[in-house]
Amino acid sequence: MNGISVILCTHAPRVEYLARVLHSLQGQTLDKGRWELLIVDNASATGLFQKKEFSWPSNTRFLSEEVLGLMHARRRGQANARHDILVFVDDDNVLDPAYLKTALELFESNPRLGCVSGCIHAEYEQVPPPWFKGEYESWIAVRRIEKDWISNFRSERSEPCGAGMVVRRVILDKLFEDWSDSGLVLGRSGSSLLSGEDVEISGAALRCGYFIGQIKSLQLTHLISAKRTDSAYLFRLYRNICASGRLLSWKGGGKKPHLSAREFFKDVSAMVFGRGVGRRLAWERFRSFSLAKGVLGRCHQSTATNG
């Protein structure tokens, strides 16, 4: 019988947020015999599993991953999962009660569907600055989906994000096999805001011949703390997103992170003649080049040392 392995990776979680996430998992309409919960403690300073503040579902298993980094923790969960359909739940993702049931039915009825996410609503602890709305909210994994988007090619409309991602295990097998090719592992790690792991997963799905998508019926609420809507944080986040894009391009066979003449003149013009947020975003794009180059340099240095 097919089932789902929910992989919840956490590092020093906010207690009230994780409690709400666990409560939403306790309330899933899918029979507990058809899913399991794997909690992966990713190098938290204090023991997580003994905390009395949390009510763990009865079908929970606990794992530890000492190497800091979201994808290292997800790999640990994937290696220990009992089922071939996986759901990634962050420690600030509150699932709709029907989330797991909907996901399982969707993947059982669509054998070529490989990787999807859903409609992600924002619950802000603090109202974001006025300029931060609409498309900018995608930086913090907010997705207001009005219809399903599914494709067998890369598209912003169909490309899933990591929060609540449903993915077939075989796709992650392929992705992790390819890890050693570059030595660079993207995704959040401690205070680093580098990302791109969701893009890599959907890319692996396409290479395996599967479809990817964003599905309206998969609903979750993203709990967003006040620090994540501070303007300084958001601009730093944007810089890291741009740097991650450069690194993804390099991992995909492109050139090492570089600033083309066209990019240079476009961003310099925006910094000189632009105004407000547009000028600041141009500056962060400009800075992302140095950030990406530095990350790649450290990666190569680490690879050489370990070799």
- Tens of pLDDT, residue by residue over 237-258, are 999 999 999 998 888 776 677 6
**By mean pLDDT, which of 78-82, 159-163, 191-195 is the weakest?**
191-195
Q: 166: helix, coil or strand?
A: strand
- Work out the pLDDT band at 109, boundaries 50, 70, 90: very high
6 three-state secondary structure: strand
Identity (one letter) of the amino acid at 208?
Answer: C
Residue 77 to residue 269: CA distance in whole angstroms: 46
Asked if residue 215 has pLDDT above 70, the reply is yes
CA distance 89 to 299: 28
Query: Residue 224 — pLDDT band, cuts 50, 70, 90?
Result: very high
Give the pLDDT band of residue 217 (cuts 50, 70, 90): very high
Classify domain 4-229 by CATH architecture: Alpha-Beta Complex (3.90)
pLDDT at 300: 59
55 or 304: which leads in pLDDT: 55
Instruction: Please give the Cα distance from 195 to 193 (Å, whole number).
Output: 6
* Model pLDDT, residue 264: 77
* Dihedral angle over CA of 68, 69, 74, 80, nearest 10: -20
d(CA 50, CA 45): 13
Q: Give the pLDDT of residue 182.
A: 56
Report, as an integer, the average pLDDT of 169-180. 86
The more confidently predicted of residues 229 and 191 is 229
- Three-state DSSP at 119 gives strand
Tell me if 84 sits within 8 A of 133, measured CB to CB.
Answer: no
Residue 205 near residue 117, CB atoms below 8 Å: no
Instruction: Quote the CA–CA distance of 89 and 25 in Å, as a whole number.
Output: 10
Q: What is the pLDDT of residue 261?
A: 78
**What is the pLDDT, as a whole number, of residue 44?**
83
Q: What is the pLDDT of residue 55?
A: 85
Distances (CA, A) of 45 to 12, 19, 48: 7, 19, 9
> Residue 210: what pLDDT?
98
Q: Is 107 helix (H, G, I), strand (E, B) or coil?
A: helix
Say yes or no to pLDDT of 174 above 60. yes
Flag whether pLDDT at 223 surpasses 60.
yes
Q: Is the pLDDT of residue 1 over 70?
A: no
Q: What is the mean pLDDT of residues 111-118?
A: 98
One-letter amino acid at 55 equals S
Residue 153: what pLDDT?
96
119, two tokens: 């409609």
The pLDDT value recorded for residue 69 is 92
| Amino acid (1-letter code) at residue 86 | L
d(CA 8, CA 176): 18
Q: For the whole model, what pTM was predicted?
A: 0.92
Predicted pLDDT of residue 77: 96
Give residue limits of the domains in the chain.
Answer: 4-229, 232-306
pLDDT at 2: 87
Q: Calculate mean pLDDT across residues 18-22.
A: 96
Predicted confidence at residue 73, as pLDDT, reads 95
More confident residue, 198 or 300: 198
Identity at 139, one-letter amino acid code: W
Q: What percent of the chain has pLDDT over 90?
A: 72
Per cent of the chain over pLDDT 70 is 92
Distance CA 38, CA 79 (A): 11
Alpha carbon of residue 302 to chain centroid: 25
